[in-house]
Amino acid sequence: MKILVTGGAGFIASNIVDALIDIGHNVVIVDNLTSGFQQNLNPKAKFYKIDIRDSKLSEILEREKPQIVNHHAAQIDVRKSSEDPIADAEANILGSLNLITSCLRFGVKRIIYASTGGASYGDPEYIPADENHPIKPISQYGVSKHTVEHYLHLYSITDGLEYVTLRYSNVYGGRQNPHGEAGVVAIFAIQMLTGKQPTIFGPGDKTRDYTHVSDIVRANIIALEHGKNAIYNIGTGVETKDQEIFDTLASVLGFKGKPIYAPLRKGEVYRIALDCTKAQKELGWSPQLSLKEGMARTAEYYRALARRSPTR
């Protein structure tokens, strides 16, 4: 099957591309390399350096004729979405609309859309939050990512588009950018390995639902054939405190320093975990990697990265 992956040079999507190619699919990547990296590109995939907002995107859909589009390209930084909400909406809403309408024109059978759990639900009324939890985003990023879900639902009714939306928890693992604003595990790991003090925003009791990228990849593989016009949380259902992430990584990496505690950042949810019962029942998906094992794998990845790039 031919599958077009947007954002395929990025953290999550590049891991998905590798898995798709490993099981025999023909993959086309679209990425503007704003936050993705050339070294993440699988050499067996066909690559187009283009923004999803570009009008020429439709030419790629017409030329390649993918059966499925896996849509991960996005502006993912909550802080940046607050500072420049217009740019956030242009990338996440208008870019997605450009992609969706091109898919409709050129016969794409299914879109798999990477959405967000915590940023959509906002500060939850109950934990773990299921897919029926009220949508109350407290960041522009949460608004823009959720808005695309409405367009997918709309076009499934008006044009027969088939979609699966995966609302991710906090994803971590190999290839996450340790020099960005998002991705606390990667950021902490590389800071510890280079002798810097990691910063915890808040007193350390803020919680997230951490899911290893390998489990996210598996959900995307399942979504190639299962689930129809449906939304699924993809997470562990377990809250993990920032302090626990710091302590676990420090133990694994042998870091003896203490964190810096800074004020909370605007637009960040304080506590969240996702109820993934629906994905278990309808997709047969559940997380397989424990936090302890996932953190150990991730720490080893960044240990190797630090050895290769000691000055970074």
State pLDDT tens for residues 74-109: 998 888 999 999 999 999 999 999 999 999 999 999
* Over residues 176-193, mean pLDDT: 89
Percent of the chain with pLDDT over 90: 92
Q: Is the pLDDT of residue 114 over 70?
A: yes
The encoded tokens of residue 202 equal 């808040």
Catalytic hit among 48, 113, 141, 172: 141
- Examine the residue annotation and report whether 172 is marked as an active-site residue of this protein: no
Residue whose token pair is 């985003």: 137
Per residue in 44-78, pLDDT tens? 999 999 999 999 999 999 999 999 999 999 998 88
pTM of the model: 0.96
Per residue in 148-160, pLDDT tens? 999 999 999 999 9
Angle at 92 between CA 89 and CA 94, to 5 degrees: 70
**Cβ of 26: how many Cβ atoms within 10 Å?**
16
Mean residue pLDDT of the chain comes to 95
Task: Supply the DSSP symbol for 201.
Answer: E
Q: Is the pLDDT of residue 308 over 80?
A: no
The whole-number pLDDT of residue 306 equals: 83
- Spatial distance between the Cα atoms of 299 and 212, rounded to a whole number of angstroms: 12
The whole-number pLDDT of residue 312 equals: 39
- Spatial distance between the Cα atoms of 226 and 166, rounded to a whole number of angstroms: 12
Per residue in 196-229, pLDDT tens? 999 999 999 999 999 999 999 999 999 999 999 9
Q: Is the pLDDT of residue 237 over 70?
A: yes
Of the pLDDT bands very low, low, confident and very high (cuts 50, 70, 90), residue 309 is low
The whole-number pLDDT of residue 181 equals: 63
Pick from 22-26, 133-137, 168-172, 264-268: least confident: 264-268
**Cβ of 173: how many Cβ atoms within 10 Å?**
25
Peptide bond into 134 cis (omega under 30): no
Percent of the chain with pLDDT over 70: 98
**For residue 141, what are the contacts with CB-CB under 8 A and spacing of at least 6?**
75, 76, 77, 78, 81, 82, 88, 92, 116, 119, 267
CA 128: distance to chain centroid?
A: 19
- Spatial distance between the Cα atoms of 259 and 180, rounded to a whole number of angstroms: 18
Q: Is the pLDDT of residue 311 over 50?
A: no
- Spatial distance between the Cα atoms of 2 and 81, rounded to a whole number of angstroms: 33
Domains and CATH numbers, the chain: 2-171+210-234 (3.40.50.720), 178-208+238-271+289-308 (3.90.25.10)
